[in-house]
Structure 1
Amino acid sequence: MTPNESVTTTMDKRPTAAEPETGKAPGPTGPSHGKKVAGDLARRGSLIVVWIALFIVFGSLSPDQFLTVGTLQTIFGSQQALVFIALGALCAFSVGEFDFSVAAVAGLSATMVAVLVSEQGLNVWLAALVAVAVAVGVGAFNALLIIKIGINPIVTTLGVATLLTGVSSRISNGGSVFLDSPALYDVAATNILGLPISFYYGLALAAVFTYVMTSTPLGRHMLFVGSNRSVARLAMVRVNRIRVGAYLSSSFLCGVGGVLLVGTVGGFDPASASTYLLPALSATFLGTAVIQPGRFNPAGSMIAIYFLATGIVGLQLLGFAGWISDVFYGSALIIAIVLSTLFRRDRRQS
């Protein structure tokens, strides 16, 4: 299974004759076209429908606990780091690459900020800048190994993730690190309409990412590279430059996500970084089943993140143990990969 997606192009066709009775050019009308449109809309919104169904089910089973403002704040106000990590992974997946180091990069960034401020006395903003710069350096290292030397991206990024986890544990002396920074907390967690400001950062990031992917030459080139690198090269697209940029962007977003994470909660345990990887992958692949079926897209990933959060919170409120998170995320990832494969196959045949 690769993250490559199909890029389809359509040819504009001019009508060859007008219909004698109406004077209108022939077009795609009739029952079959209507069924096709309805089916396409159903696929684009299928996950949203299931999401609404989850709210109804959990609200019916546990109305006193689930149907509260606090539950909604938990669902929408606690996923900021995951949003940045998932969209970071999306940068790589969109161009046909893998990056399994995203969670470890965020963990290293969060650990560095706390250590540099609390133990080294560094200014919090300088510490955040250093942490993000190191994260981008990790992206450059990934790109060097994968693109320049030609090492398998799965092996490379898994190895780098393990390396970063060890480094994070070393600089934190094997334990949790803590950060008392009101300034960073204000930037990361100031309450706006009942949700932390970083929630709105995630929305803005997804909106910008969507614009780039759908309305700019860079976005079209990214999709082209993700679909077929050989053809993209023949079309004079700078394939390797886009691949390098994807790894750098991925690590940058994860670095920022790590800074927001430690700024929000006031501490971080480096050993917990790996717990963000499965949710990020699940959301990224599950997002291909909505909005733009069969294609990695930021809006779909955002919907998937909060869909998964709804499922986890709802199940926990019903009394299920902590193991339910792994089961739910793992099942979602398997289903997402299956759906993504089927949607892409359908797009190639249509």
Structure 2
Amino acid sequence: MSETSQTLPSAVPDAAPNQAAATPASVRTGPGWFARLAVVGVWVLLAALFAVLVPETFLTEGTFRVVFGSQQALVFLTAALLCTIVVGEFVDMSVASNFGLAAMLVAVLTVNHQWNVWAATAVAVAVSLAVGAVNGWLVVKVGVNTIVVTLGMGTFLLGIALWLGDLMPVSGLPSSFKHISLQPVLGLPISFFYGLALMGGFAYLLRYTPLGRNMRFVGENREVSRLAGIRVARVRLGAFTIAGLIAGIGGVLSAAATGGFDPNVSQSYLLPIFAATFLGTAVLQPGRFNPLGTLIAVYFLATGVLGLQLLGATSWVSNVFYGGVLVVAVTLSTVLHGRSR
């Protein structure tokens, strides 16, 4: 993919040098609080509706734990996707398969080949990191289209994961290993707080550090970024590499939580990943991809799907809900991005 300017519903750069000072206050005024928190309000109303309709099942500690304690795979996957989206690489279709490969490697090396679980973890994360680096090299250095590279890589990795497990789930990880993911802290598994730290740190990086501002700037306009002295290729390559690292860590945590992994599960995350990431552009920073908005979107979607299931909807409802939200979220992202300009 050539490093040319792109028009995408992605982040507006926080500031080019001296840009903010030259911008009139009326232009710099961002969306009001109503726009920033509208989705949060809908989330509250949705939860209130389910509480009225099915109070005996929705208003329970179990529901709270399911919504907030079982979404960490999605949190890590959306963070991985955000890494590349922020720098303008809009569709990374390989993060879910990379996640699944890491989870399978931990399970297969430990259970089937009697490796030490921590050695298997190190290998799994290293492989995911390498996959991200290869994706970046093919897209940035060779110039292959992002969709082609990541779709092909995702399919390839899925095949490898299926081969490793002989088309079957692999389970039997040491029971002590689950504590890295399920150790209770304040009533929730510790992986919930890993997700908060990951998204909080990512948000801080984008808003308050030169690297984060450079990532935003590259995502908005590569040619201008290059002229401004930003090492565009390095930023893009680094984004792919870190996306692979985050996906690998998420896969390891998922394997630890379940004691193994089913390689067929990873593809089921693709639709929720994109739905949450795009819905996040309507939260806190309308028109921008942002980690905290995405984090809120993850739990909004979890609440909606669980509530509908408690009302009696069957397994098809998640596809309908996630697909509908994705269409609405992309539409909102496009409209809000247009207004931000």
* Fold shared per TM-score above 0.5: yes
Q: Segments of 4+ in structure 1 off by > 2 A?
A: 1-15
Q: Deviations over 1:162-220 (max 9, x none)?
A: 00100000010111111322232011111112210000000011111111000000000
- Structure 1: runs of 5 or more not aligned: 16-26
In the other structure, the counterpart of 2:56 is 64
**Matching residue within 97, 112, 123 for 2:116:** 123
| SS of residue in 1 equivalent to 2:10 | coil
| SS of residue in 1 equivalent to 2:285 | coil
Residues 184-333 of structure 1 aligned to structure 2 (within 5 Å): 184-333=177-326
The 1-side partners of 2:281 and 2:148 are apart by 24
2:184 corresponds to 1:175:
no
The 2-side partners of 1:118 and 1:307 are apart by 36
Contact 1:3 1:96 in 2 (8 A): no
- Alpha carbons of 1:232 and 1:174: their partners in 2 closer, same or farther (altered >3 Å)? same
Residues 83-94 of structure 1 aligned to structure 2 (within 5 Å): 83-94=75-86
| SS of residue in 1 equivalent to 2:121 | helix
- Residue type at the aligned position of 1:94: V
Deviation, 1:100, is 1.1
- Residue type at the aligned position of 1:85: L
Q: Deviations over 1:53-95 (max 9, x none)?
A: 1111000100000011110100000001110011000000000
The 2-side partners of 1:239 and 1:13 are apart by 24
- Structure 2: runs of 5 or more not aligned: 1-6
- Residue type at the aligned position of 1:7: P
Contact 1:179 1:263 in 2 (8 A): no
The 2-side partners of 1:149 and 1:246 are apart by 16
- TM-score normalised by the chain length of structure 1: 0.91
- Number of residue-to-residue matches in the alignment: 330
| SS of residue in 2 equivalent to 1:45 | helix
Deviation, 1:271, is 1.0
The 1-side partners of 2:235 and 2:20 are apart by 27
In the other structure, the counterpart of 2:21 is 12
The 1-side partners of 2:22 and 2:267 are apart by 51
RMSD, aligned α-carbons: 1.8
In the other structure, the counterpart of 1:20 is none
Deviation, 1:99, is 1.1
Moved more, 308-317 or 92-101: 92-101
Contact 2:97 2:267 in 1 (8 A): yes
In the other structure, the counterpart of 1:78 is 70
Residues 131-146 of structure 1 aligned to structure 2 (within 5 Å): 131-146=124-139
- Alpha carbons of 1:168 and 1:152: their partners in 2 closer, same or farther (altered >3 Å)? same
| SS of residue in 1 equivalent to 2:32 | helix
Contact 1:185 1:264 in 2 (8 A): yes
Q: Deviations over 1:250-291 (max 9, x none)?
A: 110000000000100112110111001111111111100011
The 1-side partners of 2:263 and 2:327 are apart by 27
Deviation, 1:14, is 11
- TM-score normalised by the chain length of structure 2: 0.93
Contact 1:3 1:93 in 2 (8 A): no
